[in-house]
């Protein structure tokens, strides 16, 4: 059977969120040919055994546990290499990215046939869950745009749909390492190689369970360094 959309859910100790997120996605995707890949980064909350027990009848749910090379970007790369869909959707596993916005990405893809559709907090209809974070993130994004001379406004959302055949033309090893900074590199090279892209407004939500694993000050410093590396290496 042809699979049109592979949804990649990288995770670390997110079972309490995933059990609801996957259930929600299954309901919304009932008219689509899809698969959902949970890429577990060696969680300690028994994510994979629990999900296997809950969704054992559903062959569209693919559960993969990683034990080497930890990190968000490596998990996503694993999903890319394992998935069978013509198109790939990457989203967070904690409801930061809302399931209803997955349908929005798919709808636009069907209508316009873009090669890359980026979920954006700053496009029309988009928003963040906290006003101060929205303003700080917008300012930080404009700094990235200024350094890399890019066009895409939200370089940090990590929520996107991309045509797999097009993605595989890029050097994945050059992009998928580290944490969320992989997304800055992905957008940079997508624009460099003239992918047909579109930014669609998405509304960031709040995680349902647990706490964020991100240290935002450390993360932004690292992203700035990685952005400068792109600028230096590509010039």
202, 159 contact by CB (below 8 A): yes
191, 153 contact by CB (below 8 A): no
Alpha helices (runs of H) in 30-171, residue ranges in sequence order: 47-54, 72-82, 99-112, 131-148, 164-167
Question: CA 118 to CA 91: how far, in whole Å?
Answer: 11
Tokens encoding 86:
């013509």
Question: CA 181 to CA 76: how far, in whole Å?
Answer: 12
Express each pLDDT in 186-214 by its tens digit.
Answer: 999 999 999 999 999 998 877 677 666 66
14, 22 contact by CB (below 8 A): no
Tokens encoding 220:
């932004």
pLDDT of residue 204: 86
Would you put residue 46 in left (φ > 0), alpha (ψ -120 to 50) or beta? Answer: left
Question: CA 102 to CA 194: how far, in whole Å?
Answer: 24
Fold of 5-233: Spore Coat Polysaccharide Biosynthesis Protein SpsA; Chain A (3.90.550)
Question: CA 83 to CA 35: how far, in whole Å?
Answer: 8
Express each pLDDT in 111-141 by its tens digit.
Answer: 888 999 999 999 998 888 777 778 888 999 9
Name every residue whose Cβ is closer than 8 Å to that of residue 168 and which is 6 or more positions away in sequence. none
Q: 199-216 as b/e, with b when 16 or more CB fall inside 10 Å?
A: bbbbbbbebeeeeeeeee
Express each pLDDT in 27-67 by its tens digit.
Answer: 999 999 999 999 999 999 999 999 999 998 899 999 999 99
Question: CA 2 to CA 214: how far, in whole Å?
Answer: 37
Of the given ranges (78-92, 125-139, 145-159, 218-232), which has the lowest mean pLDDT? 125-139
DSSP 203: B
* Phi, psi for residue 8 in degrees, rounded to 5: -100, 125
């Amino acid at each position: 059977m042809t699979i049109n959309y592979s949804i990649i859910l990288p995770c670390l100790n997110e079972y309490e969120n995933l059990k609801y997120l996957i259930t929600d996605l299954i309901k919304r995707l009932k008219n689509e040919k899809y698969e959902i890949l949970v890429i577990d980064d060696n969680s300690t909350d028994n994510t994979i055994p629990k999900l296997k027990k809950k969704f054992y009848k559903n062959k569209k749910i693919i559960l993969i546990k990683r034990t080497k090379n930890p990190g968000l970007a490596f998990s996503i790369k694993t999903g890319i290499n394992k998935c069978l869909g013509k198109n790939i959707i990457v989203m967070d596993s904690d409801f930061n990215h809302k399931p209803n916005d997955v349908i929005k990405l798919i709808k636009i893809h069907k209508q316009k046939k873009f090669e890359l559709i980026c979920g954006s907090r700053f496009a029309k209809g988009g928003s963040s869950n906290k006003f101060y974070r929205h303003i700080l993130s917008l300012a930080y994004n404009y700094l990235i745009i200024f350094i890399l001379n890019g066009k895409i406004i939200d370089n940090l959302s990590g929520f996107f749909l991309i045509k797999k055949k097009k993605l595989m033309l890029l050097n994945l090893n050059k992009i998928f390492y580290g944490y969320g900074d992989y997304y800055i590199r992905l957008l940079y090279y997508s624009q460099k190689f003239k992918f047909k892209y579109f930014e669609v407004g998405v509304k960031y939500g709040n995680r349902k369970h647990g706490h964020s694993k991100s240290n935002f000050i450390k993360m932004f410093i690292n992203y700035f360094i990685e952005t400068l590396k792109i600028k230096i290496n590509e010039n």
